[in-house]
Amino acid sequence: MKELSQEEWSKQLQDDNNAVILDVRTEEEVEEGYIPGAKIIDIYKGQEFVDEVEKLDKNKNYYVYCRSGKRSAQACNILDQLGHANSYNLEGGFMNWKGDVEDNT
């Protein structure tokens, strides 16, 4: 796992043709908005989260975020343990996100 600042995360994501964005927040949090193109897998779902992560392509680069950056750091560690080579945690999480946002309305 690598911790990336908001700016580093955005720049690297923009230049990465092998990127997948993972939002590991709860459904309620996602209703407040999300980063466009994000795949949503709630880390609080425990084994269900692990099962979903195990289905993901290990050759992709995962850009992971939550509300503040703590759960996404945990998610990156899980990705690493399951053999995913590249995971990037968004420092400060969605609370500090300055990029594009989609909402569910």
Catalytic-residue membership of 76: no
Q: Is 81 inside a domain boundary?
A: yes
Residue 82's pLDDT is: 96
Contact present, 104 and 12 (Cβ < 8 Å): no
Which DSSP category does 34 fall into? B
pLDDT in tens, 35-85: 999 999 999 999 999 999 999 999 999 999 999 999 999 999 999 999 998
Q: Is 28 inside a domain boundary?
A: yes
The helix/strand/coil state of 102 is: strand
Q: Is 53 inside a domain boundary?
A: yes
Q: Is 68 inside a domain boundary?
A: yes
**Average of pLDDT values for 91-96?**
96
Residue 103's pLDDT is: 86
Whats the size of the chain, residue-wise? 105
Q: Is 102 inside a domain boundary?
A: no
Q: Which domain holds residue 78?
A: 2-96
Q: Is 103 inside a domain boundary?
A: no
Q: Is 104 inside a domain boundary?
A: no
In this structure, what CATH number is given to the domain that contains residue 40? Answer: 3.40.250.10
Position 105 pLDDT exceeds 90: no
pLDDT in tens, 10-39: 999 999 999 999 999 999 999 999 999 999
Q: Is 48 inside a domain boundary?
A: yes
Q: Catalytic one among 20, 30, 66, 75?
A: 66
Task: Report the number of distinct structural domains present in the chain.
Answer: 1
